[in-house]
A and B are shown apart, each in its own frame.
Chain A
Amino acid sequence: GAVVSQHPSWVICKSGTSVKIECRSLDFQATTMFWYRQFPKQSLMLMATSNEGSKATYEQGVEKDKFLINHASLTLSTLTVTSAHPEDSSFYICSGRTSGNSYEQYFGPGTRLTVT
């Protein structure tokens, strides 16, 4: 299957600071990338969908000014958590969709964010 990487794999930051998470599709071009958030023992919650070169589409209830998404190229998307607070602590996972008629979506390994 296709490979998606995320960096960093974990990060601890102080309340009020901003954190950037990178998501890269290593062996395919992802015209569409997705950002998810996952709480312990729960399913994945979609935060936003981004198409390369376009503004991201955010799910209801997700603050676009707090979770800034940039999809500048077919292989890179970034999520910046601005002015992070402890309630933003979570497991963030990105995903890239392959192009073509078959729909396959591959996930990165996730980033554990802890805000102190």
Chain B
Amino acid sequence: GQQLNQSPQSMFIQEGEDVSMNCTSSSIFNTWLWYKQEPGEGPVLLIALYKAGELTSNGRLTAQFGITRKDSFLNISASIPSDVGIYFCAGRSEGAQKLVFGQGTRLTINP
């Protein structure tokens, strides 16, 4: 099925570093959502974006809805060990019920 292009696929960083990941699509989306999934658990919604150019924060997390409506990024500042997990972007086009998911970014943090 259709997927978003999410990068990077994996990241290995030191505790305290900032993290940036992004998603791009060939089609326009009306909604961008960012999720975090830990092993054996379901994804947890981190941030929801609804307008082009929108910049939204949730604690140390910041996400933006790209102006072209074809991309979004997620930044994590001052990473801590509990940030470890897989981060997924998801987009929804106008009129669609279902989300399209990225392949995920696996974040590993060295203490």
Which residue numbers of A lie inside 8 Å of B, CB to CB?
1, 4, 6, 32, 34, 42-46, 49, 59-60, 91, 93, 95, 97, 102-110, 112
- Interface SS of chain A: strand
- Interface SS of chain B: loop
- Is B66 an interface position by the 8 A CB rule? no
Would A34 and B98 count as touching, CB distance under 8 A? yes
Tell me the minimal C-beta distance from B46 to chain A in angstroms: 9
User: Which chain B residues in 85-106 approach chain A with CB under 8 Å?
Assistant: 88, 90, 92, 97-99, 101-104
Cα–Cα distance between A103 and B33 once the two chains are bound (Å): 9
- Is B31 an interface position by the 8 A CB rule? yes
Q: Size range of the interface on B?
A: 20 to 34
A/B interface sample: 12 pairs, CB < 8 A: A42-B103, A43-B101, A44-B101, A46-B1, A46-B98, A46-B99, A49-B97, A60-B1, A93-B43, A95-B42, A107-B42, A109-B42
Given contacts A32-B97, A105-B90, 5 further A-B contacts (CB under 8 A): A43-B88, A43-B101, A97-B97, A103-B30, A105-B33
